Amino acid sequence: MPVRGLLVAVVVLGILAGGVYWSEKHKTAEEAKDASGGASKLVNIKDEDIQKVEIHRRDSPPVVIERDKSKQWQMRAPETWRVDQDAASGIASSYAGLSYDRIVDEKPTDLSAYGLQNPSVDLTVTAKDGKSRKLLIGDDTPTGGAAYAKFADEAKVFTLQSGAKGTLDKVAKDLRDKRLLVFDADKLTRVELAAKGQPVEFGRNAQKEWQIVKPKPQRADNGQVEDLVRKLGDAKMDTSLSDADAAKAAAAFPGDTRVGIATVTDSTGSQTLDVRKKGNDYFAKSSAVQGVFKIGSDLGEALNKGLDDFRNKKLFDFGFSELSSVTMRDGSKNYNFQKNAEKWTSSGKQVDPTSVQSFIDKLRDLKAITIRDTGFTTPIIELTVVSDGGKRTEKVQISQTGNMFLAKREGEPTVYELDSKAVEELQRAAADVKEPPPPPAKK
């Protein structure tokens, strides 16, 4: 019995070894075949040579997208919506790189076994030379991760990875350009916002920085306006709503609470976005696209602002630009700092750059705690800062009434109320500018 058992084990081991050898040999041969001849490649076309794509699904109207003379994708059916160029190019790219996982049946007799008699989706691709080819995509494989497919002009059935199927299987909503406003932010000349309080209008100055032009000219917080412009440019429709829910939202829109109306203008004209709120949800209607759409709360919150939110409350605009000179008259005290190369001087004498920088930091941080229209009296402090290689000169005066400090910029009517502590720290920083420490003694 032991000998007989040993013989059986040897036979079984031989069979298993032969199976492993055959499997590895077959696998190696297949890998060599794919590597040498690209046998798994299904099409021979470049994505830029694809002119038109038609997608037919069982449960939705056909979608037709086509490149125009400028190579931009346009939707021809079921609607003439603007197209998301990246999504459309993704279909062309995926099709041009199409390859199969494996050949399932070279000559199938029953296509219904693979869901290809009445495919869930078929894709007709037309090249710029006018030649077309249809790809049929059927059921998913039992193990998942792939789907059965074939070309209409060939018999063989093969499998495609589910990722490839997902890229090709699109409905009109998937390919729609979901932007509610279409503009180039760098080319905008005007932005208007009617929300909290009186309407505000912004325009760009000679330095391409945003300024408030209405209700009256004044400096704007450029970062706040840029953030508004960015969020308007990023505003996208939520296409996840069902057609029934979208119709309800459109019907209810006139009665929803208005958050704000934003208008952007460039050389091509103006576009307007009307944003309203219902409960915790925001909805928008754009002049650039037909319909009412649900949008994200971040855009609704960005529009819910007024004039004071966009005012520039900092006294100086030099930011982190290179300074040429800083002068300050504080009552009877006068400070005059000049920069030459990397050295700061005062009255011809070199001063410690670290202490000058501390003074400059206090200037940069001067910020209004509130903005007024009146109240400024006789100045007790006068400041002048020259920056940008002499191209920018800013002059500020500060007056004092009791414990309250008010400031004005030259040529502007706006009055800035300052924190008394910030003014005191500025005075102290100016007085603390000193001569540089002596060099270390030589041994």
In a shared domain, residues 158 and 191: no
- In the predicted structure, residue 42 carries a pLDDT above the cut 60: yes
* Mean of pLDDT values over 371-388: 94
In a shared domain, residues 113 and 169: yes
Among 310, 339, 369, the domain boundary falls at: 310
Domain count, the chain: 3
- In the predicted structure, residue 16 carries a pLDDT above the cut 90: no
Residue 248 within any structural domain of the chain: yes
In a shared domain, residues 424 and 400: yes
In a shared domain, residues 363 and 411: yes
Residue 19 within any structural domain of the chain: no
Model-level pTM? 0.74
Residue ranges making up the domain that contains 229: 185-310
Residue 12 within any structural domain of the chain: no
Among 144, 175, 206, the domain boundary falls at: 175
* Mean of pLDDT values over 140-160: 93
In a shared domain, residues 146 and 198: no
For 227-276, how does the pLDDT look when each residue is reduced to its tens digit (9 = 90+)? 999 999 999 988 888 888 889 999 999 999 999 999 999 999 999 999 99
In a shared domain, residues 278 and 351: no
In a shared domain, residues 128 and 82: yes
Residue 398 within any structural domain of the chain: yes
In a shared domain, residues 51 and 165: yes
For 270-329, how does the pLDDT look when each residue is reduced to its tens digit (9 = 90+)? 999 999 999 999 999 999 998 899 998 999 989 999 999 999 999 999 999 999 999 999
Residue 438 within any structural domain of the chain: no
User: What does the pLDDT read at residue 40?
Assistant: 83
Q: What is the CATH number of the domain that holds 94?
A: 2.60.40
In a shared domain, residues 298 and 327: no
Among 286, 310, 334, the domain boundary falls at: 310
Q: What string of H, E and C letters represents the secondary structure of the chain?
A: CHHHHHHHHHHHHHHHHHHHHHHHHHHHHHHHHHHHHCCCECCCCCHHHEEEEEEEECCEEEEEEEECCCCCEEEEECCCCCECHHHHHHHHHHHHCCECCCEEECCCCCHHHHCCCCCCEEEEEEECCCCEEEEEEEEECCCCCEEEEEECCCCCEEEEEHHHHHHHCCCHHHHECCECCCCCHHHCCEEEEECCCCCEEEEECCCCCEEEEECCCEEECHHHHHHHHHHHHHCECECCCCHHHHHHHHHHHHHCEEEEEEEEEECCEEEEEEEEEECCEEEEEECCCCCEEEECHHHHHHHCCCHHHHECCECCCCCCCCEEEEEEEECCEEEEEEEECCEEEECCEEECHHHHHHHHHHHHHCEEEEEECCCCCCEEEEEEEEEHHHCEEEEEEEEEECCEEEEEECCCCCEEEECHHHHHHHHHHHHCCCCCCCCCCCC
